[in-house]
């Protein structure tokens, strides 16, 4: 068991007065929930990174479109740079 699991097991034993072994269902549930939280956090971070990359890409596209639109307007009015 790692330190976090052992600390949780010890805390339960102390607070509830129960003997909790390494294969106890309550401990197994806690471990699985902890793993799920870690997986969710990793997935959330991945999605956030992908969103930020898409947002930056969109910003660059819009900036390029704005520059092209300004150039077309200049050409249409006959102005030079």
Model pLDDT, residue 20: 80
Domain count, the chain: 1
Q: Is residue 79 part of a domain?
A: no
Q: Is residue 45 part of a domain?
A: yes
% of the chain residues with pLDDT over 90: 35
28: containing domain: 23-70
Mean pLDDT of 38-56: 97
User: How far apart are the C-alpha atoms of 2 and 8, rounded to whole Å?
Assistant: 10
pLDDT tens for 9-33 read: 888 888 888 788 878 888 888 888 9
- pLDDT-derived band at 1, boundaries 50, 70, 90: low
The closest of 7, 33, 3 to 20, measured between CA atoms, is 7
């Amino acid at each position: 068991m790692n330190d976090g699991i052992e600390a949780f097991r010890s805390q339960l034993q102390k607070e509830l007065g129960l003997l909790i072994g390494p294969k106890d269902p309550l401990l197994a549930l806690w471990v699985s929930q902890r793993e799920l939280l870690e997986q969710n956090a990793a997935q959330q971070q991945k999605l956030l990174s992908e969103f930020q990359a898409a947002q930056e890409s969109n910003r660059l596209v819009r900036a390029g479109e704005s520059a092209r639109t300004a150039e077309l307007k200049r050409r249409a009015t006959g102005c030079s740079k």
